[in-house]
Chains A and B, each alone.
Chain A
Amino acid sequence: MTGLPVDGVTLILVLPALTAALLAALPGYRLSAGLNVVSAFATFLAAVSLFYAKPAPGPYILVDDLNIVFIVLNTFVAFTTSVFSASYIAHELETGRLTPTHLRFYHAMYQVLLFAMNLALVANNIGLMWVAIEMATLTTVLMVGLYRTHEAIEAAWKYFILGSVGIALALFGTILVYMAARPVVGEGLDGMVWTVLIEKVARFDPALLNLAFVFLLLGYGTKVGLVPLHAWLPDAHAEGPTPISAVLSGLLLNVALYAVLRFKMLLAANPEAIAPGPLMMVMGLASLVFASFMLYRRRDIKRMFAYSSIEHMGIIAFAFGIGGPLANFAGLLHMAMHSLTKSAIFFAVGSITQVKGTQQIADIRGLTVTHPLLGWGLVVGVVAIAGMPPFGIFMSEFLVVSSTFARLPLLALPLVFGLLVGFGALMMRLQGLAFGEPSGDAGRPVQASYLPMIAHLALVLMAGLYLPPPLVAWFRHVAGLLG
């Protein structure tokens, strides 16, 4: 905004960084949790201000119509998750799973993660983007291992090694992009600036670009959780604190996908390079079908929803792989809806595991009887994520399916098959979780706030019933940019 000395981009980077430093120094979890919420909210406001005042792209920072969608979604879910986390952690302290020292660390890391994700989203420099995603990986590894149980450490280690290999491959791809750019753009900083690259990419060596994209897709695809690179994802979701599962599913996967999209745009602008779409479509479909089948045999509730995230990231990657205005629109909408719905589900699951004292699906029964609001919240969330009307996910899945029928009718078969298999699995599990004879201590009250969950589900419902025309126009415009 013109009247302010600082612009929105500076704010969304500086606020989390400063808060992280402050939280690392402050004792007392109530104060920290409050500060965490306030800072996340301020960051969200700063992100919204970007709609009104976009700074000009520099060699490091870029805000355009594409990443603003990601930034606003990112900061919004980060804010609601911080609200949920504030009420969630009190219980963890009581049961002794976490100590105050852990919490101080946890809050500081939460803000560092926000900083890293925002930096990755606004980075105009592909090297800087890589550094930011590496940083986000590191912080989430530390948070996944927070409980220090054998399982948590195993999950963190697995995530660490697979994530590191992923980002190492992505760096090799980044170097190859620079090598392709050097003869055209010249040496130095410009060779890594995305806005410069996209202008001149048509004259790059297509063979090098192709090879680079394969490395980048495998590297960042590991972080998106695409099959066959998904092995870290269920463990990381199941063993970490639940707010982190929500952030991982709702945000970090999107950030990695955003990186893939940026490079896909580069390849699409070079007429001689391979079409990046089919690669993404194959990985997306494989993720969808594989994850849908994996949903059946899950016994751990957080694991089950982690596989559901793989399924949905597969759908999104598939939609972007098809390309074209309609499929891109569907992909963007699905991404936004999935972020909101999946984090709402994880909010519910966090409270459920606290009141029932277990993550085993078989030990959680009759939630709607013992905790009506929580139980029905879960029912609504799962119905939404399974793709039933009238929720937003139904609409975006419908768009994906119909554009597949229009463009590549044969591929619609595995797509619809995967969707149905996943739907069946979720409904089967939901039956046991929500209804029937209640299990466990029925009287235990819920401490976590319902507000974030209800807010997310209301937004998803609203999107399913009525999308405001300005939003549709915006998404359509962005879908056009993606090509």
Chain B
Amino acid sequence: MNGLVFDVAHLLAGALVLVSFMLLYQDRLYALLNVFALQAVVLTLSVAWQAYAQDAPHLYVTAVIALVFKAIVIPVALHRIVARLGIHREVETVVSIGPTMLAGIGLVGLSMVVMLRVTAEADPLAREDLAFALSVVLLGLLMMVTRRNAVSQVVGFMSLENGLILAATGAKGMPLVVEISVAFSVLIAFIVIGIFLFRIRERFDTVDVQALDRFRGERR
């Protein structure tokens, strides 16, 4: 294994986890979107490095999709939506930042323990990539459950999806990676359009049980 190739891939995957933590403590929507764009850039670099290291030119397509779509188009579109719909600029959290960060550290530890143990046989680059990828996925999930606002839930989902792309590109020679990343981009585009069309503002902005019952079609 080429030492430099390994180190750079490691650095970029680690950076992705770090940026996922940064997403957790943002308390402004615009800042959250900027950090997400940063995460997409890191993902682009990571995917491009994998393309170079594995000598797999089709992965460059995935990298370009990540750069154009997730680092530029989506953040810009979400910026506009936030501005136009007049959503609260603050990120409303269910759990405060401190416990969320602690839970995040726990999740990263968990994914390291799980992945490194079960992949003892696999080649070191792939297994550490997978461990980092699972961390990003779990941090994305954590973000989705600790946020109330639709836009920040979507950012959580997209960060989760970045983790999946990292895992898919880290698995050497995996077929259909490009197709899968395209399918995911379509999914995300639909979500973003959905936010705009449906004009979802702050969801669950009341803890009034009656309102919840109405949303569930249960009110009499």
Residues of A near B203 (CB, < 8 A) are 154, 157
Which of A160, A172, A191, A234 is within 8 Å of B167, CB to CB?
A172
Residues of B near A160 (CB, < 8 A) are 191, 194
A188 to B153, CA, bound (A): 35
Give residues in B with beta carbon < 8 Å to A.
Answer: 114-115, 117-122, 126, 130, 133-134, 137, 141, 144, 150, 153, 157, 160-161, 164, 167-168, 171-176, 179-180, 183, 186-187, 190-191, 194, 198, 200, 203, 214-218, 220
Contact A157 B183 (CB under 8 A): no
A165 to B156, CA, bound (A): 10
Which of A135, A179, A182 is within 8 Å of B183, CB to CB?
A135
A124 to B124, CA, bound (A): 30
Contact B218 A303 (CB under 8 A): yes
Contact A207 B122 (CB under 8 A): no
Interface residues of A in 410-448 (CB under 8 A from B): none
Residues of A near B176 (CB, < 8 A) are 125, 127-128, 131, 192
Q: Secondary structure of the A side of the interface?
A: helix
Contact A175 B167 (CB under 8 A): yes
Residues of A near B126 (CB, < 8 A) are 179
Asked if A362 lies at the interface with its beta carbon under 8 angstroms from chain B, I say: yes
Asked if A65 lies at the interface with its beta carbon under 8 angstroms from chain B, I say: no
A164 to B186, CA, bound (A): 12
Which of B144, B150, B164, B173 is within 8 Å of A175, CB to CB?
B164
Contact A134 B187 (CB under 8 A): yes
A161 to B200, CA, bound (A): 13
CB distance from B179 to the nearest CB of A (A): 6
Which of B114, B118, B157 is within 8 Å of A161, CB to CB?
B157
CB distance from A174 to the nearest CB of B (A): 9
Q: A178-B174, A182-B173 are in contact. List 16 more A-B contacts (CB 8 A).
A: A127-B175, A141-B190, A160-B191, A160-B194, A165-B141, A165-B144, A171-B164, A172-B134, A172-B137, A179-B126, A179-B130, A187-B173, A188-B175, A192-B176, A207-B117, A208-B119
CB distance from B61 to the nearest CB of A (A): 16
Asked if A168 lies at the interface with its beta carbon under 8 angstroms from chain B, I say: yes
Contact B220 A189 (CB under 8 A): no
Task: Name B188's closest neighbour in chain A (CB-CB).
Answer: A164
Task: Name B145's closest neighbour in chain A (CB-CB).
Answer: A165
A131-B183, A168-B160 known; A191 and B153 CB under 8 Å?
no
Residues of B near A150 (CB, < 8 A) are 214-215
Scan A217-244; emit 1 where CB is below 8 A from any B CB, else 0: 0000000000000000011001100000
Q: Which of A179, A191, A299 counts the most chain B CB atoms within 10 A?
A: A179
Asked if A389 lies at the interface with its beta carbon under 8 angstroms from chain B, I say: no
Contact B122 A153 (CB under 8 A): no
Q: Secondary structure of the B side of the interface?
A: helix
Task: Name A300's closest neighbour in chain B (CB-CB).
Answer: B217
Scan A191-212; emit 1 where CB is below 8 A from any B CB, else 0: 1100000000000010110110
A157-B194, A182-B172 known; A168 and B218 CB under 8 Å?
no
A176 to B130, CA, bound (A): 9
Residues of B near A131 (CB, < 8 A) are 176, 179-180, 183
Residues of B near A178 (CB, < 8 A) are 171, 174
Contact A145 B174 (CB under 8 A): no
A: interface residue count bin: 35 or more
A141 to B203, CA, bound (A): 18
Residues of A near B179 (CB, < 8 A) are 127, 131
A482 to B60, CA, bound (A): 40
A354 to B115, CA, bound (A): 53
A-B contact pairs, 29 of them (CB 8 A): A127-B180, A131-B180, A134-B183, A138-B186, A138-B190, A141-B190, A151-B214, A151-B215, A155-B217, A156-B194, A157-B194, A160-B194, A168-B137, A175-B171, A183-B122, A188-B173, A189-B175, A192-B174, A192-B176, A205-B118, A205-B122, A207-B120, A210-B118, A235-B216, A235-B217, A299-B218, A299-B220, A303-B218, A362-B220
Residues of A near B137 (CB, < 8 A) are 168-169, 172
Which of A134, A161, A191, A211 is within 8 Å of B144, CB to CB?
A161
Q: Which of B119, B179, B186, B217 counts the most chain A CB atoms within 10 A?
A: B217
Residues of B near A187 (CB, < 8 A) are 172-173
Which of A155, A179, A191 is within 8 Å of B175, CB to CB?
A191
CB distance from B210 to the nearest CB of A (A): 14
CB distance from B171 to the nearest CB of A (A): 5
CB distance from A229 to the nearest CB of B (A): 13
Residues of B near A165 (CB, < 8 A) are 141, 144, 157, 160
Contact A151 B217 (CB under 8 A): yes
A331 to B180, CA, bound (A): 32
CB distance from B208 to the nearest CB of A (A): 15
CB distance from B159 to the nearest CB of A (A): 11
Residues of B near A142 (CB, < 8 A) are 190
Asked if A359 lies at the interface with its beta carbon under 8 angstroms from chain B, I say: yes
Residues of A near B174 (CB, < 8 A) are 175, 178, 191-192
CB distance from B192 to the nearest CB of A (A): 12
A232 to B19, CA, bound (A): 30
Which of B118, B153, B214 is within 8 Å of A208, CB to CB?
B118
CB distance from A197 to the nearest CB of B (A): 13
Task: Name B54's closest neighbour in chain A (CB-CB).
Answer: A187
Residues of A near B173 (CB, < 8 A) are 182, 187-188, 191
